[in-house]
Amino acid sequence: MAFRSAVVTFPGSNCDRDMAVALELVSGTPAIRVWHGDAALPDRLDFIALPGGFSYGDYLRSGAMAARSPIMRAVIEAANRGVPVLGVCNGFQVLTESGLLPGALMRNASQHFICRTVPLVVANTQSLFTAGYDAGATIRIPVAHHDGNYFADQATLDELEGEGRVAFRYGETVNGSQRDIAGVLNRAGNVLGMMPHPERAVEPAHGGSDGRALFESVVKGLVEA
Amino acid sequence: MKVRVHVSLKPGVLDPQGRAIHHALEGLGFSGVNDVRAGRLIELDVDDGVSDEALDDMCRKLLANMVIENYRIEKLETA
């Protein structure tokens, strides 16, 4: 059964092609490319990816305009039906701005744009996205962002931790995120937002392939489902 | 009708930008500045018939991120 995935491109997205390449590499099926102005998604999707970049030039707040674009109405509706959605970097910002994930991504505490490979602890290995990792594993994935400082109120943070919804934590100080949170899941477990870029670490030529297991987890999970 | 929407970070939310501005002011030799918080001012020109409820809705749905920000609506006299 072919894996039907879609990658959404907003004006200013710049990791959409990398995401599509990673999805094809792992699933063997080309990803369908979707434009922000489209009102509908392709039928029978197994997976939707919101890529990194600087959608709408980060006007107002990172991800704020993209979260209100026509295609996001369809993405929200699909996510609520249980279709898996992955948002990376700007995609994570779009997911919080759209309300699909709690919290917000603020300017890095250092004020600097951070572009380097960081250690990530896989905090939950039970999810659709992380089942392929060993419990407690530390992996190395690149980050490249200015607004990756995860913020939520204490009650929300407690709830996320209590429900196992922190998927990834930084293994070192990176951007000032509350409780070193690098990636969070929605309550149903079908939406993951993360600042690090797994699609930039899927083959040895990238300098590391620790991101590959994330995509393999999704493909395997859906084929078995 | 001219409307100004003042968007500011909620108390307790760390403001790296405000902190950097504060630091820069000190670097310029200004003393006595205890804290700096940076916000955003959005000016709207709307029909007179636009209700307060609609303005409030605009703030909640787009102009402010209610997770981290507060907003204040200021209505100005029509020029």
Query: B16 to chain A: which residues are within 8 Å by CB?
Result: 106-111, 149, 176
Supply the CATH classification number for the domain A5-224.
3.40.50.880
Q: Do β-strands A191-194 and A181-185 pair in parallel, antiparallel, or remain unpaired?
A: antiparallel
| A97·B17 Cβ contact <8 A | no
Put residue A178 in one of left, alpha, beta given phi > 0 → left and psi -120 to 50 → alpha.
Answer: beta
Task: Identify which of A166, A217, A10, A186 has the alpha carbon closest to the alpha carbon of residue A96.
Answer: A186
Name every residue in B having a CB less than 8 A away from some CB of A. 13-14, 16-17, 20, 61-63, 65, 67-68
DSSP A87: E
- Split into its structural domains, chain B has a count of 1
Edge-to-edge order in the sheet of strand A47-50: A32-35, A5-9, A47-50, A85-88, A191-194, A181-185, A166-170, A114-122, A138-145
What ipTM, to 2 d.p.? 0.85
Q: Does A60 touch chain B (CB under 8 A)?
A: yes
Q: Who among B17, B61, B65 is closest to A107 (CB)?
A: B17
This prediction's pTM: 0.94
The tens place of each residue's pLDDT in chain A, 225 residues long, gives: 689 999 999 999 999 999 999 999 999 999 999 999 999 999 999 999 999 999 999 999 999 999 999 999 999 999 999 999 999 999 999 999 999 999 999 999 998 999 999 999 999 999 999 999 999 899 999 999 999 999 999 999 999 999 999 999 999 999 999 999 999 999 999 999 999 999 999 999 999 999 999 999 999 988 776
Query: B13 to chain A: which residues are within 8 Å by CB?
Result: 106, 151
- In terms of residue numbers, what domain contains B24? 2-76
CB atoms within 10 A of CB A58: 18
